Amino acid sequence: MSWIPAPVSRFFHRTSSPPHFYALADRFIPWLTVIFLLLLGAGLYGGLYLAPTDYQQGDSYRIIYIHVPAAWMSLFIYVLMAVMGGIALIWRMKLAEVMLISSAPIGAGFTFVALVTGSLWGKPMWGTWWVWDARLTSELILLFLYLGVISLYGAIEEKRAAARAVSILALVGVVNIPIIHYSVQWWNTLHQGPTVSKMDKPSIHVSMLVPLLLMAAAFKFYYLIAVLQAAKLELLKRETTSQWVKTLLEKQA
């Protein structure tokens, strides 16, 4: 890999070795938890207490502090999974496989939260729990993609073969991501257009935007914590017979 500087490449090789990664994750998780709790506290206080009520929706709009970050995460995690899938297929890197499969349940969770909170908001605002417009339908397909990744991985006994199959599924599903993002612009949908993620100035008042961005950051840190925990467990399961797991267990016993 001549096009990547040697120290960077060495760093990746070191971190991608399971025992190193395991120790690194252990060291990072407490710090990540502190940052997550701080961001979450600030975001919730700002969003539920400091932010003003909306001129049309009153207090109901406050569900965006969960709904929007969760929906962003559902797309973000899927793209990450596809990148991991690509790395796993090209370089056959074990850690990428582990990160890919550890991300799937978290992404599915965020997608589910986005769908449910959207539905709870839709009933009083739109007058309906659910419509089959392009945005809602493509987001539901994303949930099924996540569930597909989880079940395909579970269905194949040999885990390296399972990871390869799942990598391909993750890459195939990535076409859905731009469809979800642009659905509100390409077609007439009941779901409103983008408020924050557009080229123009965000069409949300700054006092409401700041807590939203804090919540989005908090969700990112939550994902990091959750994925590292899940990856640690997955590594232990896969490498039960290896020397580093044995030494680790002896140390803890």
Name the site residues for other proteins (rule: CB under 8 A).
1, 3, 52-57, 61, 64, 86, 89-91, 124-128, 131-134, 171-172, 174-175, 179, 186-190, 192-195, 203-205, 207-208
User: How far is it, in rounded angstroms, from Cα 130 to Cα 118?
Assistant: 9
Considering the complex, state which of residue 28 and residue 187 has its C-beta at the smaller distance from other proteins. Answer: 187
Considering the complex, state which of residue 26 and residue 59 has its C-beta at the smaller distance from other proteins. Answer: 59
Q: Is the Cβ–Cβ distance between 217 and 39 less than 8 Å?
A: yes
- For the bound state, the minimum distance from the C-beta of residue 152 to other proteins, rounded and expressed in Å, comes to 17
The residue type of 103 is S
Considering the complex, state which of residue 124 and residue 154 has its C-beta at the smaller distance from other proteins. Answer: 124
What residues contact 107, with CB distance under 8 A and at least 6 apart? 73, 74, 77, 78, 81, 146
Tokens of 87: 């790395």
Tokens of 80: 């990450």
Establish how many alpha carbons lie within 13 A of residue 94's alpha carbon, considering only the half-sphere containing its beta carbon. 17
- For the bound state, the minimum distance from the C-beta of residue 235 to other proteins, rounded and expressed in Å, comes to 24
The residue type of 59 is D
- For the bound state, the minimum distance from the C-beta of residue 22 to other proteins, rounded and expressed in Å, comes to 26
Considering the complex, state which of residue 102 and residue 138 has its C-beta at the smaller distance from other proteins. Answer: 138
Tokens of 32: 């990540």
The residue type of 194 is P
3-state secondary structure 127-161: CCCCCCCHHHHHHHHHHHHHHHHHHHHHHCCCHHH
- For the bound state, the minimum distance from the C-beta of residue 220 to other proteins, rounded and expressed in Å, comes to 22
- For the bound state, the minimum distance from the C-beta of residue 207 to other proteins, rounded and expressed in Å, comes to 7
Considering the complex, state which of residue 166 and residue 245 has its C-beta at the smaller distance from other proteins. Answer: 166
